[in-house]
Structure 1
């Protein structure tokens, strides 16, 4: 008897709370997880990679890719990749934040699409959050949908990939609650833009995370300064 081939999802996973929950949601839907992580010389690269590997072990992924991208360091233009630009900690920043990495999600999705086509995966998941995020343009639902169309136009005729963005309209507090429902190991995730030992608690990402836990009435399990 021929074995039925399980459906696969390529999950872009940073080691953060949002992308981790997205991967767990795909697993809950019956997908075999192909985990993809990008090292792009971000400030907390070592910590994010450690978290990714630990989460993959907890999630029992079927395969994982750990990819290095030197391009973003050469490009600069973001506080995450250029150490000459300070990570804001005031909580007040008009317009697109300096922590925005130009077209990062577009590049990540393009590489994930190549992996999905190679792996025969029918889905890509990405943990973008539009309504309760830092205001990054590449986290918008409309943009992700346009990328799905472009990916399917630029791949083989038999390739049909759906990009899942299950958190796009959730608030951080809802993300925390959903993660708890699925027993996501939130203690293994990392959100801080600045530090790798103890989270700073004052960068935009830490503020969003802490506020989400506060609104959910749950204590954040990671250590802060």
Structure 2
């Protein structure tokens, strides 16, 4: 297969993990089709801006911005229901309140439809099992079963491999790998609740800051004092 025909759909939230996964896809010689989801998350505008900046950095020509309004209808997550507070006291036990029901399953299903249409060979998603906040849709086993279901439910000629290059990395390894590949981390956004300056206290900010600290590096984004 020549390089030009090697296509990958990259689910790109604008966060550090999905951005690194997209840079890895580029390094592996894939032509990237970027997919971003606006699903009523608190930092929707900031994440969309991050996605667009990263698409420019990667010189991506083909991109999709998909609206999924129903997550706010069902609520059940602090990310999509403003009546539920974002936890700021450290990582919770079990599945945290920031978990959005079956989000990655839904994202992968939509991205697979796009991959089938675009005749892409791979689908990149920046899930992290070891260092994630305990989300059930970020595990190797889940991705493996989704791959089987997707290939079972698409055309015979459609063969999609779901690639999770970060699944076994810790956050400091993600920071180091990002720096090694010159990923523009200043364009990424991880905060669950703020769009101007990152809060620094939500689970996602804590994981990110801890990763930079362990990697002996300074996070280039702005945080509240």
Q: TM-score, normalised by structure 2?
A: 0.98
* SS of equivalent to 1:87: coil
* SS of equivalent to 1:211: helix
- For 1:60 and 1:124, locate their aligned partners in 2 and report how far apart those are by CA, in whole Å: 18
- For 2:148 and 2:170, locate their aligned partners in 1 and report how far apart those are by CA, in whole Å: 26
Match of 2:65 in 1: 66
Match of 1:181 in 2: 180
- For 2:192 and 2:219, locate their aligned partners in 1 and report how far apart those are by CA, in whole Å: 17
Q: CA-to-partner distance for each residue in 1:85-109, whole Å, 9 max, x for gaps?
A: 0000000422110000000000000
Shift of 1:4: 7.2
* SS of equivalent to 1:114: helix
Query: Within 5 Å, which residues of 2 pair with 1:101-180?
Result: 101-180=100-179
Q: CA-to-partner distance for each residue in 1:96-154, whole Å, 9 max, x for gaps?
A: 10000000000000000000000000000000000011010000011001100100000
Q: CA-to-partner distance for each residue in 1:20-66, whole Å, 9 max, x for gaps?
A: 00000000000000000000000000000000000000001130000
* SS of equivalent to 1:112: helix
* Contact 1:32–1:62 (Cα < 8 Å) also in 2: no
* SS of equivalent to 1:163: strand
Query: Within 5 Å, which residues of 2 pair with 1:29-68?
Result: 29-68=28-67
Match of 1:85 in 2: 84
- For 2:97 and 2:43, locate their aligned partners in 1 and report how far apart those are by CA, in whole Å: 16
* Contact 1:10–1:121 (Cα < 8 Å) also in 2: yes
- For 1:211 and 1:136, locate their aligned partners in 2 and report how far apart those are by CA, in whole Å: 19
* SS of equivalent to 1:65: strand
- For 1:6 and 1:204, locate their aligned partners in 2 and report how far apart those are by CA, in whole Å: 39
* Contact 2:42–2:192 (Cα < 8 Å) also in 1: yes
- For 1:80 and 1:160, locate their aligned partners in 2 and report how far apart those are by CA, in whole Å: 33
Match of 1:192 in 2: 191
* Contact 2:42–2:80 (Cα < 8 Å) also in 1: yes
Q: CA-to-partner distance for each residue in 1:152-171, whole Å, 9 max, x for gaps?
A: 00000010000000000000
Contiguous gaps of at least 5 residues in structure 2? none
Q: TM-score, normalised by structure 1?
A: 0.98
Query: CA RMSD of the aligned region, Å?
Result: 1.0
* Contact 2:15–2:47 (Cα < 8 Å) also in 1: yes
Match of 1:7 in 2: 6
